Homo-oligomer: A and B are copies of this chain.
Amino acid sequence: MEKLTVAVVGATGAVGTEILRVLESRDFPMDTLVPLASPRSVGRSVRFRGEDVPVQALAADAFQGVDIALFSAGASRSREFGPAAREAGALMVDNSSAFRMDADVPLVVPEVNGDQLGQHGGLIANPNCAAIILTMAVAPLRPLGEFKRLVVSTYQSTSGAGALGMEELLEQTRGYLEGDEPKPNVFQFPIAFNLFSHNADIEENGYNGEENKVMEETRKILGMPDLPVSATCVRVPVLRAHCESINLEFDRVVDLDEVRSAYAAFPGVQILDDRSNNHFPMPREVTGTDDVLVGRIRHDFGRPTALDLFVSGDQLLKGAALNAVQIAELLAASR
């Protein structure tokens, strides 16, 4: 296989850092890394395959010779520099929300709808982290019955707001324990020993931007544009793994053994559902791991055609970097 040149846009951010690690650990078929970041990061270097690679300034002329460009620097950077990357001939994998809902842009979780990738026109969108984890948790169950309704409440870590969000949690907590008044900065409200409705702005339908992403992207990824879905997204004082409490209604009563078999057969998902030891998915154990963990598998007490699930996934890995690199692997393999 031809060896590729890969650009990582936002190479010094929380997700960019994980992308480099994942490219390395999965031995991505590449010769050359082009780490790009904002001008203030120029002069720094990133460690990759045992070498220090100097960070270059993100600019329109930075994509010459790049085969695949992994963007993870926010929607405005993707909109500003994505066209230049694509004109230079790079395939763009975009971790931002900029193009996800465009009808001609595949929105891909490889295990769930990797077949959509064939239809790309040079740009593939990486979904919202909570939508990736949600679709990984429900997609394996599609063969068991028709989905009638999905209600999800999230427990989202501070890594979703980047490295600064994680730092704010640690610093504020340290301060709280020393008796300081917290000084919110990344988040509007104190996050130490607190939680709050997700910080994305509320939109016209009463949902915040994060919730609308989860709902719309989940429908698109599953290919179920009319699935009734409701999401409540909440930020919790956790560093880098999301959890989700999911209620999924079918058109029939599904068998729990079949549910477990479906998960066991699905790549990227693991069951952690140890009722006798009360051991279920939690951020501390999923952090740094690739798979989405699924537990608390049970029939809804009041509505037997529904299932309740509690799931957890590393926000920076399957929720972002790993999924993006998996997309890039499919692109590399199909060149």
Q: Mark A216-245, 1 if CB is under 8 A from B, else 0.
A: 000000000001111110101111000101
Q: Is the interface of A mostly helix, strand, loop or mixed?
A: mixed
Separation of A97 and B232 alpha carbons in the complex (Å): 30
A48 on interface, CB distance cutoff 8 Å: no
Task: Judge whether B195 and A236 touch: CB under 8 Å.
Answer: yes
Give every chain B residue within 8 A of A174 (Cβ-Cβ): 177
A155 on interface, CB distance cutoff 8 Å: yes
- A283 → chain B closest CB, angstroms: 5
Give every chain B residue within 8 A of A196 (Cβ-Cβ): 280, 282
Task: Judge whether A298 and B207 touch: CB under 8 Å.
Answer: yes
Task: Judge whether B302 and A193 touch: CB under 8 Å.
Answer: no
Q: Mark A188-231, 1 if CB is under 8 A from B, else 0.
A: 11100111110101100111100000010000000000011111
Task: Judge whether B197 and A232 touch: CB under 8 Å.
Answer: no
- A304 → chain B closest CB, angstroms: 9
Which of B206, B282, B295, B308 makes the CB contact (< 8 A) with A275? B206
Task: Judge whether B282 and A238 touch: CB under 8 Å.
Answer: no
- A226 → chain B closest CB, angstroms: 9
Separation of A194 and B169 alpha carbons in the complex (Å): 12
Task: Judge whether B208 and A278 touch: CB under 8 Å.
Answer: yes
Which of B149, B208, B238, B278 makes the CB contact (< 8 A) with A199? B278
Task: Judge whether A232 and B303 touch: CB under 8 Å.
Answer: no
Q: Are A229 and B302 also in contact (CB < 8 A) when A155-B236, A234-B155 are?
A: yes
A-B pairs, top 5 by smallest CB distance, nearest first, are A228-B302, A206-B298, A153-B245, A153-B153, A202-B275
Other than the given A189-B282, A202-B278, 10 more pairs (CB < 8 A) read A150-B302, A174-B177, A177-B177, A193-B237, A193-B239, A197-B280, A202-B276, A206-B308, A230-B300, A247-B247
